[in-house]
Structure 1
Amino acid sequence: MSLNERPETAHGAAAQGNDGQPTVTPARPGKLIRLPLVEDRTGLGKSSIYAGVKNRTFPAPVRLSARAVAWKEQDVDEWIASRTTARGHE
């Protein structure tokens, strides 16, 4: 294997990139996550999350059924990244 080739990994395992830094691939692209996990990952409570959705400052959920919603994990991750970048903490 040459230096430019990366080993294939399964299930989002990290491979070593050319610069020695781990390269992380998403385990399941398009994964939907429910409110408790969104709260845990963002540090926000339910009412703050829904206020953000209403004000269009937080990603909108996807309707799963008449009484269930979930968020796209990628949307939540991008929101978190935008918050840390906006504050210069990256």
Structure 2
Amino acid sequence: MSNSERIIRLKTVLARTGLSRSTLYRKIADGTFPRQLSISVHGAGWRESAVNRWIDDPAAYREGQGA
């Protein structure tokens, strides 16, 4: 698994993006931030590559668009 395909958890996503938890989940609902993946019954995470794409250009990010 390459570095950009790592799964990162909420705390890391919040630290890297500077978003608050409520803003992050609002952006997910709006489709302007990558959706989390279920990694266990009670756990979720994000693909690091998707978060990096958002960090590169947050204003242009739309869920479902290619890399």
> TM-score scaled to structure 1, two decimals?
0.60
Q: CA deviation at 1:66?
A: 1.9
Give me the CA root mean square deviation. 1.6
Identity fraction in percent: 34
* Higher RCO (CA 8 Å, separation ≥ 6 residues): 2
Following TM superposition, by how much is the alpha carbon of 1:78 offset from its aligned partner in structure 2, in angstroms? Answer: 0.3
Q: Highest CA radius of gyration, 1 or 2?
A: 1
More helix by share: 2
Contact 2:4 2:47 (C-alpha < 8 Å) held by counterparts: no
Aligned pair count?
59
Residue 30 of structure 1, CA deviation:
0.9
Runs of 4+ in 1 over 3 A off after TM superposition: none
Q: The residue matched to 1:77 in structure 2 has which SS?
A: helix
User: Given the two structures, how large is their TM-score scaled by the length of structure 2?
Assistant: 0.79
Q: Distance in 2 between matches of 1:71 and 1:78?
A: 12
Instruction: Decide which structure has greater strand share.
Output: 1
| Structure 2, gaps ≥5 residues long | 61-67
